């Protein structure tokens, strides 16, 4: 299987990344946004290119078309092509879910590229103004779609009623769409049916008759729907655009877009929520009624923050119901209970990785970290088993649709922060320069408050005195000077050799008390004796309330970090929580020292910390803290909460997140007090 970056390179054109080089060789709106989100994490320097390609396709009135055609691709390879649309340019005449602002916010968070933001901002504003002006002319808070392709969920059963009505009342007799190109590379049973293509092309025919006049398209389209997924993304997009306006010191814009987001969330609750079913549905404007088909679109309202806590609880009940959306493979795009559920026909039941990403983000918004983590894990298993497919069978996980599909590499960024590989080693020997490459190692070994300490056997609290004496006696009885001198260039190997020997000696004595792995004080005292006996300059270092380790200096003066108990952060995972909290605290502390607005990257850092800590917390229910651990843990939490409170006034658009984060810290603190 290709690596994520290799796959993205495989699908790359000179101007953008295509969804799939074979099946979809052009630029799609929300695909490009997902690609930018992926690249912001994996290859930040290229992330802005995807959004710039969308801006290059933007029309004079502000609309961003859902497809911009690649002139290097033969027109017969994809239908409808530029000629079929007849818009007068190399693009379609409809749009897609407006994920541009969320993608731009993530790109800016990861890159800090304000020049990009200044270029992108007015383009996104124009797009939002177009949507509000044309698709929500009555100012209801909900924007309408005029074609199923605009929803992103092209042949969802939620469109069946509108489609059947169109074919019966609006399709000219004998009308047939042009020959299909989509079934040349993908089996027909995995694609929308022919009657859906009559529907799609019939709508295009109507739009061409309007001369692609946006307001006339809204008036004449038999398909006029307040789509719940589209509007969920619309609400989130306005929230994120308000945040970008704040960054750029545009208070009026900030207030306007924040108001639009609030208006849409309220409208979703007022018009799309069914109290009887405990679910959000799309609304057919022509029929003036909810389309009562349960799809993942109703769950994506969590991404928008449109659900109250009680609504969110009801949605999670649906999500975890085995009769509806819960299965070990993943979340189907349509409820299993839906009459027209189809496991392998596009959006009628199949699993989509981009929906998994939206769901996991939404679930974390409401504190359902365990369920979000399960969805992330299922996404990884699908890709590990099948590779990067367009979608997957929800019953057996088989990859379906187009192969080598770009946005399925979202799995690479859908995971909690992994500990560095050094934490799985019995001992670590690294240089300070190497420690700087990972933020957890940097926090642990290069902390600003890190200092030399004099630690003796009397200061060791992790094990009984009898075992301390046994270990230190064993160290004294094992002659290591026979190792002899070694050239400076091989010093790392010698240090690791000494560390491993020392570690084995300690492990032999630990058999009597293996259940408690956090013995950094004991191993540091033992290690110091060993290295000093070999004439190395050695000192014990202490990162306050986190860890003891050794700093060893070679005969030529090179400094090495030697840790004889890094694996405690794997064996005793709850000990990694204070490290993650302190890592975030250092970033907050740095921002507090600077004037002006705090960087948006702090929010994503805290979200990442929250997920990692919550999952460790859930997995470590059996772990107990001793008195020293608990005191250090609570001290770190208090310091962290104080920094969050200090930075919050300088992160005004993110205030709701910071308030929920503080409540979460309080729950963690309460839990720590109980684990004694």
Catalytic residue chosen out of the listed positions 182, 390, 545, 603: 390
The owner of tokens 């306005």 is 238
Q: Please report which confidence band the pLDDT of residue 517 belongs to, taking 50, 70 and 90 as the band edges.
A: low
Mean pLDDT (whole number) for 201-229: 97
Residue 480 has pLDDT above 70, yes or no: no
SS3 (DSSP) at 91? strand
SS3 (DSSP) at 267? helix
pLDDT digits (tens, 9 = 90+) for 425-444: 888 999 999 999 999 999 99
More confident residue, 36 or 576: 36
DSSP result, 638-669:
HHHHHHHHHHGGG-GGGHHHHHHHHHHHHHHH
Interatomic CA distance for residues 41 and 116, integer angstroms: 16
Mean pLDDT (whole number) for 27-37: 98
Q: Please report which confidence band the pLDDT of residue 473 belongs to, taking 50, 70 and 90 as the band edges.
A: confident
Q: Which of 16, 108, 103, 19 is nearest to 57 (CA)?
A: 16
Q: Please report which confidence band the pLDDT of residue 512 belongs to, taking 50, 70 and 90 as the band edges.
A: low
Q: Please report which confidence band the pLDDT of residue 163 belongs to, taking 50, 70 and 90 as the band edges.
A: very high
Q: Are 236 and 303 in contact (CB under 8 A)?
A: yes
SS3 (DSSP) at 551? strand
Partner residues linked to 573 by β-bridges: none
pLDDT digits (tens, 9 = 90+) for 64-81: 999 999 999 999 999 999
Conformational region of residue 141, where left means phi above 0, alpha means psi within -120 to 50, and beta covers everything else: left
- The predicted structure's pLDDT at residue 622: 47
Residue 169 to residues 30, 198, 219: CA-CA distances in angstroms? 32, 13, 16
Q: Are 339 and 293 in contact (CB under 8 A)?
A: no
Which DSSP symbol is given to 416? P
Residue 23 to residues 187, 244, 403, 404, 503: CA-CA distances in angstroms? 12, 35, 8, 10, 56
Q: Among 175-189, 442-456, 561-575, name the one with the lowest average pLDDT.
A: 561-575
Residue 97 to residues 66, 102, 106, 369, 577: CA-CA distances in angstroms? 9, 11, 17, 26, 37
Residue 22 has pLDDT above 60, yes or no: yes
pLDDT digits (tens, 9 = 90+) for 622-634: 456 677 778 888 8
CA 152-154-157 angle, to 5 degrees, is 120
Mean pLDDT (whole number) for 183-193: 95
Q: Which of 97, 40, 38, 44 is nearest to 66 (CA)?
A: 97
Q: Which of 602, 582, 581, 583 is nearest to 649 (CA)?
A: 602
Interatomic CA distance for residues 362 and 364, integer angstroms: 5
Q: Are 616 and 671 in contact (CB under 8 A)?
A: no
Interatomic CA distance for residues 138 and 480, integer angstroms: 83
Catalytic residue chosen out of the listed positions 41, 154, 195, 589: 154
Mean pLDDT (whole number) for 150-157: 97
**Would residue 390 show up in a list of annotated catalytic residues for this protein?**
yes
pTM above 0.85, yes or no: yes
Q: Please report which confidence band the pLDDT of residue 478 belongs to, taking 50, 70 and 90 as the band edges.
A: low
Q: To the nearest whole number, what is the mean pLDDT of the chain?
A: 91
Pull the structure tokens for residue 159: 């469109």
Mean pLDDT (whole number) for 492-501: 81
Mean pLDDT (whole number) for 195-210: 97
Q: Is 169 exposed, middle or buried (0-12, 13-18, 19+ CB in 10 A)?
A: exposed
Buried b / exposed e across 243-265, counting CB within 10 Å, b at 16+?
A: bbbbbeebeebbebbbebbbbbb
Interatomic CA distance for residues 480 and 484, integer angstroms: 8
Residue 488 has pLDDT above 70, yes or no: no
Q: Please report which confidence band the pLDDT of residue 405 belongs to, taking 50, 70 and 90 as the band edges.
A: very high
Q: Please report which confidence band the pLDDT of residue 571 belongs to, taking 50, 70 and 90 as the band edges.
A: confident
User: What is the number of alpha carbons within 13 Å of residue 662 lying toward its C-beta?
Assistant: 14
Q: Is 377 exposed, middle or buried (0-12, 13-18, 19+ CB in 10 A)?
A: middle
Name, in order, each residue with C-beta under 8 angstroms of 510's C-beta and a sequence gap of 6 or more: 467, 519
Name, in order, each residue with C-beta under 8 angstroms of 182's C-beta and a sequence gap of 6 or more: 23, 78, 79, 191
- The percentage of residues in the chain with a pLDDT greater than 70, rounded to a whole number, is 95
**Would residue 154 show up in a list of annotated catalytic residues for this protein?**
yes
Q: Please report which confidence band the pLDDT of residue 276 belongs to, taking 50, 70 and 90 as the band edges.
A: very high
Pull the structure tokens for residue 506: 């300690």
- The predicted structure's pLDDT at residue 624: 64
DSSP result, 284-319:
ETTTTEEE---BGGGTTHHHHT-S-HHHHHHHHHHH
- The predicted structure's pLDDT at residue 676: 53
- The predicted structure's pLDDT at residue 556: 81
Q: Among 375-389, 393-407, 458-472, 525-539, name the one with the lowest average pLDDT.
A: 458-472
- The predicted structure's pLDDT at residue 520: 85
More confident residue, 526 or 345: 345
Partner residues linked to 562 by β-bridges: 429, 550
Partner residues linked to 291 by β-bridges: 282
Interatomic CA distance for residues 428 and 117, integer angstroms: 41
Q: What is the distance in angstroms between the CA of the first residue and the CA of the last residue of the chain?
A: 47
Residue 536 has pLDDT above 60, yes or no: yes
The CB density around residue 133, as the number of other CB atoms within 10 Å, is 14
- The predicted structure's pLDDT at residue 511: 58
Residue 515 has pLDDT above 70, yes or no: no
């Amino acid at each position: 299987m290709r690596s994520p970056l290799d796959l993205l390179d495989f699908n790359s054109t000179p101007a953008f990344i295509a969804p799939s080089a074979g099946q979809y060789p052009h630029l799609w709106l929300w695909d490009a946004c997902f690609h930018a989100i992926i690249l912001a994490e994996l290859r930040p320097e290229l992330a802005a290119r995807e959004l710039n390609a969308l801006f290059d396709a933007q029309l004079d009135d502000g609309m961003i078309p859902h497809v911009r055609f690649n002139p290097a691709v033969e027109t017969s390879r994809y239908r409808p092509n530029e000629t079929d649309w007849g818009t007068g340019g190399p693009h379609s005449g409809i749009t897609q879910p407006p994920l541009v602002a969320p993608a731009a916010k993530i790109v800016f968070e990861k890159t800090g590229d304000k020049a990009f933001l200044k270029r992108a901002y007015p383009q996104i504003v124009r797009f939002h103004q177009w949507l509000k002006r044309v698709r929500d002319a009555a100012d209801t808070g909900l924007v309408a779609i005029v074609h199923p392709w605009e929803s992103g969920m092209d042949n969802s059963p939620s469109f069946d009623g509108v489609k059947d009505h169109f074919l019966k009342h609006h399709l000219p007799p004998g009308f047939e769409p042009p020959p299909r190109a989509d079934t040349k590379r993908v089996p027909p049973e995995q694609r929308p049916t022919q009657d859906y293509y009559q529907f799609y092309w019939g709508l295009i025919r109507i739009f061409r008759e309007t001369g692609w006049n946006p307001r006339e398209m809204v008036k004449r389209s038999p398909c006029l729907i307040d789509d719940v997924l589209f509007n969920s993304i619309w609400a989130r997009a306005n929230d994120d655009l308000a945040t970008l306006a704040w960054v750029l010191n545009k208070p009026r814009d900030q207030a306007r877009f924040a108001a639009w987001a609030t208006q849409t969330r309220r409208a979703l609750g007022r018009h799309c929520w069914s109290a009887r079913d405990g679910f959000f549905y799309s609304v057919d404007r022509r029929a003036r009624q909810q389309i009562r088909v349960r799809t993942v679109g109703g769950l994506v309202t969590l991404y928008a923050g449109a659900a109250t806590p009680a609504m969110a609880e009801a949605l999670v009940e649906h999500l975890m119901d085995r009769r509806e959306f819960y299965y070990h493979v993943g979340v189907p795009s349509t409820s299993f209970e839906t009459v027209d559920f189809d496991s392998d026909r596009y959006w009628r039941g199949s699993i989509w990785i981009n929906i998994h990403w939206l769901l996991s983000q939404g679930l974390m918004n409401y504190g359902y970290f365990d369920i979000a983590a399960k969805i992330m894990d299922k996404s990884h298993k699908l890709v590990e088993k099948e590779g990067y497919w367009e979608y997957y069978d929800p019953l057996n996980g088989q990859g379906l649709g187009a192969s080598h599909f770009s946005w399925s590499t979202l799995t690479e960024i859908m995971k909690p922060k992994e500990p560095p590989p050094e934490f799985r080693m019995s001992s670590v020997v690294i240089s300070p320069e190497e420690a700087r490459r990972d933020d957890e190692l940097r926090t642990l070994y290069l902390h600003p408050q890190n200092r030399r300490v004099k630690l003796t056997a009397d200061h060791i609290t992790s094990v009984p005195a009898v075992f301390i004496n046994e270990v230190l006696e064993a160290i004294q009885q094992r002659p290591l000077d026979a190792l002899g001198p070694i050239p400076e260039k091989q010093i790392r190997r010698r240090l690791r050799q000494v560390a491993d020997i020392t570690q084995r000696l300690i492990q032999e004595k630990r058999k009597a008390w293996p259940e408690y792995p956090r013995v950094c004080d004991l191993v540091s005292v033992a290690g110091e004796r060993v290295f000093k006996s070999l004439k190395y300059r050695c000192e014990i270092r202490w990162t306050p309330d986190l860890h003891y380790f050794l700093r060893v200096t070679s005969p030529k003066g090179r400094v090495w970090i030697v840790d004889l108990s890094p694996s405690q952060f794997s064996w005793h995972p709850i000990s990694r929580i204070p490290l993650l909290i302190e890592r975030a605290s250092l970033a907050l502390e740095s921002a507090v020292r600077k004037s002006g607005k705090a960087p948006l990257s702090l929010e994503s850092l805290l979200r990442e910390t929250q997920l990692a800590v919550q999952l460790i917390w859930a997995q470590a229910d059996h772990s107990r803290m001793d008195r020293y651990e608990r005191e250090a843990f609570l001290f770190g939490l208090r310091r962290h909460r104080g920094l969050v409170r200090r930075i919050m006034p300088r992160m005004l658009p993110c205030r709701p997140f910071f308030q929920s984060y503080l409540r979460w810290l309080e729950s963690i603190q309460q839990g720590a007090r109980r684990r004694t």
